[in-house]
Amino acid sequence: MTSPTTSTPAESTAGSFRHMSLASVGGQNLSLIVALGVVLVLFGSLNENYLSWTNMQVIAEAATITGLLAVVQTVVIICGGLDISVGSQAGLASVISAMAFTSAGANPGVGIIAAIGVGAVVGIINGFIIVYGRVNPTIATLAGLAAYKGVAQLLSNGRAQGFVLNDPIFVFLGRGKIVGLPVMIWILIVAAIAVHILLKYTDIGRNIYAIGGNDTAARLAGISINKYLIAVYALIGMVAAIAGILLTARTGSGQPVSGSEGLELKAITAAALGGCALKGGKGGIGGTLLAVALLGALENGLTVQGINTFWQNVAQGTLLVAAVVIQQRRSGERAVGLPA
């Protein structure tokens, strides 16, 4: 008869430490941290300049626009929705900001306010179509992806509009620094903190999780689901507009397509990799930002190594599928088409 095994104090301490680490960081986030570390070490060993402070800033700055869109994509996914049109919204806002800037006699305030206003209107339109048209969010925003891109191209005749590099405000947004960090990165940090506080520490955030987790129970609890959905999509529109303004500031002109195409895939991939359940009710800003960093580091590493940029799309698609597969396995749901 074997005697029961007992753990030593050292083993108990190690087990407690692992448990506390997982509890504080989260298994999903810990996996992302490990993956990010692997990517940094791999490309750092291949190119001595990859891990330089300058290149780290390049990675962070390049990922800022994706990060902004991923943060609000996280909110809408938690709420049980999806927005595939964020890239087109950013492109439309970019064009509007530059055209309004030029029309108002090089007034940056007019350009910025006009872009954010258009972003809010576009977001509300998406929300109304989904809520009162009873259209699936994926279909509604897929239509918006094409429509808003078309509007941006019609307004600009498919060409870059305006020139903002002579304006100090746009130059500051696109190239300025505060305490050694680019302004664009600070904008992402502020937006991420604000949304994190909204989700985790307010009744609004708790209601958003409740709607995504079980909309029927949320409705019976007295939560106005329609108002929340419209407000969430309006928020997406405004943040997408800010991303479009930063795109204008970076490139020096309003871009109807260039720079914004494909942003929706990156934003959704980052949210899914960060732990958002695509059925709603689960997710957080911390995981999303880690996923944005991972995608940015991977994209920059492939570029530095001179690998065909088409492989970046392959990598993004693969990561999105992997994230969804992992979610399905963890949820314990029956695979589609297979016996229980």
Task: Tell the residue number behind the tokens 């927005």, with chain if given.
Answer: 83
Contact assessment for residue 72 and residue 231, using Cβ atoms and an 8 Å cutoff: no
Report domain extents, the chain: 30-324
The pLDDT tens digits of the residues spanning 89-130 come to 999 999 999 999 999 888 999 999 999 999 999 999 999 999
Which of 47-51, 127-131, 198-202 bottoms out in mean pLDDT, i.e. has the lowest?
47-51
pLDDT at 330: 65
Pick 30-324's CATH classification: 1.10.3470, 2.40.30, 3.40.390, 1.20.120: 1.10.3470
The pLDDT tens digits of the residues spanning 252-264 come to 999 888 777 788 8
- CA proximity to 32, closest of 202, 274, 195, 272: 274
pLDDT at 1: 47
- CA proximity to 92, closest of 251, 260, 265, 266: 260
Which of 222-226, 267-271, 335-339 bottoms out in mean pLDDT, i.e. has the lowest?
335-339
Looking at residue 213, its amino acid is G
Local confidence band at 293 (pLDDT 50, 70, 90 cut-offs): very high
Which of 48-52, 89-93, 308-312 bottoms out in mean pLDDT, i.e. has the lowest?
308-312
pLDDT at 173: 93
Looking at residue 307, its amino acid is I
Q: What does pLDDT average to over the chain?
A: 86
Which residue stretches of the chain are H helix? 9-25, 27-46, 53-62, 64-78, 86-103, 108-131, 137-156, 168-175, 183-201, 203-213, 215-220, 225-251, 263-273, 285-304, 310-331
**Cβ neighbours for 207, distance < 8 A, ≥ 6 positions apart:** 218, 223, 228
What Å distances lie between residue 331 and 77, 269, 324, CA to CA? 16, 19, 11
Average pLDDT score over residue span 179-199: 94
